[in-house]
Structure 1
């Protein structure tokens, strides 16, 4: 929610509030200027304070307090826009966009556990990033910066409902859910000064949120947007999106996901564009969507993220069903990554009020929204809604029955509430891997930071390249490896271009 650059050797210098920024001989702190944020600043006898909060009943916040001894950063519970920090010498730098700080990291000094999490799709919510020294301020955490570096203090774990409860006779969970969701979106819908848009994928989660938005605010002609996939699944998805838009009176736009494939030349993840690996999987297509929303005047995008977590079943509730497991380890994983496997759960943040998986999605995807001037809001990622759903009997959560009933009562037919197919980007990813995967593997066999660092084994990578020539099957974790390698190469390329070596 802000950017900053401060010489920690000059913390005793005077500070002043100047045009919504805090400035002094030591440097500056510049809060994000967006209609969805509110900033308060105060300087008093060498002690200063900045508090940035999310408007319209949002839960994200950042408190920054400084004095001659150091600077303390404390995040709120929302996790919408986490701050990243790095100390280089005596200079502290920070930004809501991790890409802003990549000039001060080394593409070869990496955190083994964090790299391995990305390569194996076993991400964790942690202050650690894959770059040594680059720190993320996780929800409710406090990070202190001084001449000794950065120190992270995690909060106590949040409490949750540990088992489902029986409903009272006559209880109406759909109505209660609808009221709670309406309370969450009402401040947004009532904010006439904001230009709103909703993402609709054709799925239950985003349809539920869009329905609540239009019901509560009486919004006419609300803008909506989504990615369209190809094939029969895409036709079904398009029909559902059209039905949702028609029923709710939305002004819809769509972007073809296949027209903007992952790793497309000149896109946000080209080698020429320094970027962080843990970002949007379909960044190329979503960037086009975000660009069009921005050009259309949108300032806030309301999404359906968090729905899967609300409807999740506990392990004991799955019955004979198989618990979801992470993918098998890729055959090309190197010794250094294999050695880091026991450390994947080291230094992770405690249980949060909202699901950790939603916070990881926010950290990965939200910087791209904000780059386009769009503030992302996920009403389903709400602690009150989560407590309700954690308490509901399994039957209401299994197969998202609660959402299906909510949408059915809103007048949607079976095509929306019980679709024959669900939206999937599998074909988009497979097309991207067939088009660029083999070439990117060839480039890795020529020059690879991951291979040189021991995170990827060269011989299995050669076999994988040969397999892609003969076989149309795409290994599940190929994308993840290519994404990390491309990110590291982009950092090294930018530093070499600027005459920097780290």
Structure 2
């Protein structure tokens, strides 16, 4: 709801003045989100004690962010709704905060991530917490308080919210559908709009359908509906359901084909390389189009169906516990270790459902960027409490929601569609049509170096668009630095001399940007088995039989593979492959000596480090 930069030194004798949409005092400033649905109050009558409050401009329970400042302390507190979570970071006696994480980009260090948040992300064990991916950057969760002093920034969680533990029996003669209808309509009627121009997210499902009926009953001056249409047969059914709801409610509708705006689509935030929250919504490109259309129609508020699944969930809070996570076999050792901390520092039980609050953080900043305020009436505290008390039979399969659509006189195939829409096809289309070419473009912008001119010539024949050059990794200099330097396929193992190995790492350092990654594959322990192994290798002239043995020279650390071939012609041949083994601590030394810091070292099955081959990831730390 606001962004700010506060220097503690400016708070001793504050003189706040309005300037270009901000309140300015010395080098400090406070900027409320420029939305018609919000109102801002600044009280400096008792300076140096100053209070600023940004809140929804409506009657009843409203979302808010409150800022209080004294000469020695800044305190930020938010309400129960969590509509647009505030992100905060403290640097050198200055507090920076914004509802848009991208605005804090100058203070984010991608090489300094929080391990347990990374582990949560990789294993899809997302949690509601003040922690973000970035070290030192915090999220102000619902009802929490941030305190900033000369000692630094601290986040203080509230007490857990009270909830109904079990559904309650209905009293005789009570019609829950009538109560639900009146309650939801009253919540929608409180939407903070001065102009009466309201938008509705209308997918055609039970959640958005019930919200649409409440918006119709609330009788706003202007109402527009917006929806993303999926493709195929499901999209055709969705289109028909939406049209029935639009006609019934009398909305002015805008339907947008989601398949035209999948992830990574041209013109979208990802394709343009614009800074954005890495944990943001998968379908941001499509929803950005929806938000742009709503802004073009001057909608002050967008009413959404968020939270319908959560308030209909069939659970008991007496026995609530997190489900066990599916194992992720490819995690590195650092992420595996951090898994033991995924449930640490979690926010206490909130008033609204946890998944809804987390979805707000992904979805709602986009509305604020477009000048529209999002409202989700299904998870208003009054609705949450009502649904918690409702007997399960009215929530199972969203029975109450579907009955309300039927009572409005709409067809059964609208109230209870046999195949609800989903966006999986949109995601797949984006990754295949646009994501894969982006990876290809990254490869085309890369330079590949190989020692053997014959291999380079062959590569040019099969991949003429790639920049592939002949060169010696001990001495090659390309005159450029990159985000990632790789050395794979045991290439490093063919350099046997210690000084020459150091030269190779100097090459890595010469081509790495500050903070860039080095990824290499090399033997870290010898293969010493005495038994003979036999395998078959396919050749252009037929299968060849190969017999393999190994020898190990401890003094030189050379592991030799001896191969005896029986070719398809019946001829025999022999060759040897000599590989230098660099033990893990030895590899550490070469890496650190070149200015890199090891991030992780794992074997080929990512179960730790058992050998014989290791993948090492290291980050370049020199400027």
Provide closer, same or farther for how the CA distance between residues 205 and 76 of structure 1 changes in structure 2, counting only shifts above 3 A: same
Provide closer, same or farther for how the CA distance between residues 238 and 380 of structure 1 changes in structure 2, counting only shifts above 3 A: same
Take 1:21 and 1:316, find their aligned partners in 2: how far apart are those partners? 44
TM-aligned CA deviation for residue 101 of structure 1: 0.4
CA contact (8 A) 2:262 2:286 kept: yes
Name the residue aligned to 1:31: 32
Name the residue aligned to 1:123: 126
1:101-116 → structure 2 map (5 Å cutoff):
101-116=104-119
Which of 147, 152, 165 is 2:150 aligned to?
147
Higher mean displacement: 360-369 or 329-338: 329-338
Take 1:283 and 1:326, find their aligned partners in 2: how far apart are those partners? 29
Aligned residues: 458
CA contact (8 A) 2:41 2:52 kept: yes
Name the residue aligned to 2:207: 205
CA contact (8 A) 2:351 2:381 kept: yes
| TM-score of the two chains, using structure 1 as the length reference | 0.85
Q: In structure 1, list runs of 5 or more residues that go unmatched.
A: 462-491, 493-500
Higher mean displacement: 416-425 or 323-332: 323-332
- Flag the structure with larger Rg: 2
Provide closer, same or farther for how the CA distance between residues 450 and 408 of structure 1 changes in structure 2, counting only shifts above 3 A: farther
Root mean square deviation, CA, Å: 2.8
TM-aligned CA deviation for residue 270 of structure 1: 3.6
Name the residue aligned to 1:8: 8
Name the residue aligned to 2:256: 255
Q: In structure 2, list runs of 5 or more residues that go unmatched.
A: 447-482, 485-515, 520-597, 607-619
Which of 181, 205, 216 is 2:184 aligned to?
181
Query: Residue deviations 1:43-97, cap 9 Å, x none?
Result: 1231111011112245311110011111000011110112111112222211111
Higher mean displacement: 34-43 or 448-457: 448-457
Secondary structure in 1 aligned to 2:169? coil
Take 2:204 and 2:228, find their aligned partners in 1: how far apart are those partners? 9
CA contact (8 A) 1:200 1:241 kept: yes
Provide closer, same or farther for how the CA distance between residues 456 and 161 of structure 1 changes in structure 2, counting only shifts above 3 A: farther
Take 2:339 and 2:325, find their aligned partners in 1: how far apart are those partners? 14
Secondary structure in 2 aligned to 1:380? helix
Which structure dedicates a bigger proportion of its chain to strand? 2
Take 1:388 and 1:330, find their aligned partners in 2: how far apart are those partners? 39
Secondary structure in 1 aligned to 2:379? coil
Secondary structure in 2 aligned to 1:222? strand
1:22-421 → structure 2 map (5 Å cutoff):
22-43=23-44, 44-56=46-58, 57=60, 59-188=62-191, 191=193, 193-217=195-219, 219=220, 222-270=223-271, 272-314=273-315, 328-421=326-419
Secondary structure in 1 aligned to 2:242? helix
Secondary structure in 1 aligned to 2:23? strand
Higher mean displacement: 8-17 or 132-141: 8-17
TM-aligned CA deviation for residue 440 of structure 1: 6.1
If asked which structure has higher relative contact order (CA below 8 Å, sep 6+), I would say 1
Take 2:605 and 2:229, find their aligned partners in 1: how far apart are those partners? 35
Provide closer, same or farther for how the CA distance between residues 156 and 224 of structure 1 changes in structure 2, counting only shifts above 3 A: same
Secondary structure in 1 aligned to 2:241? helix
Secondary structure in 2 aligned to 1:176? helix
